[in-house]
Amino acid sequence: MKTIITIMVTASMMLVSCGDNAPVKENGQLSVSGIHLINQYGDTVMLHGVSYGWHNWWPRFYNEGTVTELTEDWGINVIRAAMGVEPDDGYLKSPEWSREKVETIVDAAIKNDIYVIIDWHAHGIHTEEAAEFFSEIARKYGAYPHVIYEIFNEPVRDSWDTIKQYSIEVIRAIREHDPDNIILVGSPYWDQDLHIVADDPIEGFDNLMYALHFYAATHGESLRDRGDYAMSKGIPLFISESAGMEASGDGPIDYEAWSRWINWMKEHKISWVTWSISDKDETCSMLKESAGSEGGWTKEDLKESGIKTRELMREMGDKE
């Protein structure tokens, strides 16, 4: 059992806005009830936050300063550490360095009292390596209610049968050390084939959710329909990566399409994370090269997607 700070509440709400400076202290251990993410009091929680870019390409932002900036100024209550697995300097080739970068973000999230997604940012199956990594992470951090595990970022070519078997092996590795923190499971074809998952979900484990990823200028009503179908079958969703432009990460932001997604997430109380804290020359990267490595960013350091994401995060976090 985890040690959770208990606080007094004067009223019970149907939806908790984790917008205060201490969302984990306020909400404590998260769990899944039906299709909803709930806090220690049984109230529905809708997390909102941002994802770092691949750690192997933008390691300069993987530090405590940026976590504090995003928490205090942007008003996020969840951060996602995207640990690149397959490319050069990714986990498969540089495991100790990769884990060090991720743990820096986890430690900073705990210090800032926000939730943190530990993302195995891969496109292919690496069962042995993933199970070993998550077993070690769960052994070290499983007692903290801050932690959320994302065990497969975006499957591309693998079938659901293959992904399902991989997921069960990794979930077992986590549950040996952490019996209750949330685990996010991927689905075929970039986390979009939720209708297949809904007809054959993983059974025998608690507190699982399924990742849905969208880029609003590419993905629209048909993907939301798949999400609706999955929820109708009792499948809890968590949007662990999303943005307002094309799926390539580039092109203009489609504000109207993005707004439809945001309204849909709010309607269904689905937690969501936006991509990404990086300075690549593309629309979805939120920062310019002028942005300091440890935060302290001004509006001039933010690109269009960064300005809009900060605005949305502050609105969700009730930041004036």
Is 18 a domain residue? Answer: no
pLDDT tens digits along 5-61: 333 332 333 344 444 579 999 999 999 999 999 999 999 999 999 999 999 999 999
Set 150, 241, 256, 289: catalytic member:
241
Where does the chain show beta strands of DSSP type E? 15-16, 31-33, 36-38, 44-45, 48-52, 78-84, 115-121, 147-150, 183-185, 208-215, 237-243, 272-277
- How confident is the prediction for the chain on average, in pLDDT? 94
> Does 154 qualify as catalytic in the annotation?
yes
241 in any annotated domain:
yes
Is residue 120 one of the residues assigned to a domain? yes
8 falls within a domain: no
The model's confidence at residue 2, banded by pLDDT at 50, 70 and 90, is: low
60 lies in a domain? Answer: yes
Nearest to 29 by CA among 250, 159, 180: 180
Question: Vertex 114, ends 58 and 265: CA angle to 5°?
Answer: 85
Q: What is the mean pLDDT of residues 212-230?
A: 97
- State the pLDDT at residue 11: 31
In a domain, 28, yes or no: no
**Is 29 within a domain?**
no
Q: What is the mean pLDDT of residues 272-292?
A: 98
Q: Residue 271 is part of which domain span?
A: 47-316
CATH number at residue 308: 3.20.20.80
Q: Which of 26, 69, 150, 154 is catalytic?
A: 154
DSSP string, 18-42: --SS-HHHHH-S-EEETTEEE-TTS
169 is catalytic: no
pTM: 0.94
Question: Which has the closest alpha carbon to 201: 216, 225, 183?
Answer: 183
Query: Is residue 10 domain-resident?
Result: no
How many structural domains comprise the chain?
1
Please name the amino acid found at residue 75: G
